[in-house]
């Protein structure tokens, strides 16, 4: 089984998983410390996706696009801590992203389900 899929299923609520027809891993990004105690927006997420560098010695944000049974798409960000004893979790969900945004994010993504 795909490691991205494993991370996704371990981090998400099991009730939500059944709603997703397709799951795509978009990118791994370094966690930006400026997000601490801040509600991040779609623009913030897009800006970190556009950064090319990643520091694997720090916490990581895993970016996923999911397509639901109703053909609506969500952007899900999973916080994946560097410390192995900490658990990953859903950090942010942007519901119902538009078709253009979805298509742009899926260009270099990997389908995991």
- Distance, in Å, from the CA atom of 36 to the CA atom of 16, rounded to the nearest integer, reads 26
Q: What is the pLDDT of residue 112?
A: 95
Beta carbons of 112 and 24 less than 8 angstroms apart: yes
Q: What is the pLDDT of residue 44?
A: 84
Per-residue pLDDT of the chain (113 residues; tens, 9 = 90+): 588 899 999 999 888 888 999 999 999 988 777 677 778 888 888 888 887 767 666 778 899 999 999 999 999 999 888 776 678 889 899 999 999 999 999 999 999 99
Q: What is the pLDDT of residue 56?
A: 66
* pTM summary value: 0.87
Domain locations along the chain: 3-111
């Amino acid at each position: 089984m795909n490691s991205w899929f494993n991370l996704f299923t371990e981090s998400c609520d099991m009730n939500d998983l059944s709603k997703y027809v397709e799951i795509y891993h978009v990118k791994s990004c370094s966690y930006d410390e400026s997000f601490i105690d801040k509600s991040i927006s779609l623009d913030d997420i897009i800006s970190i996706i556009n950064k090319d560098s990643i520091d694997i010695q720090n916490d990581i944000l895993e970016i996923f696009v999911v397509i639901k049974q109703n053909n609506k798409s969500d952007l899900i960000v999973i916080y994946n801590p560097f410390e192995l004893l900490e658990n990953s979790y859903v950090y942010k969900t942007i519901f119902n992203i538009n078709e253009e945004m979805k298509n742009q994010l899926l260009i270099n993504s990997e389908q995991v389900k």
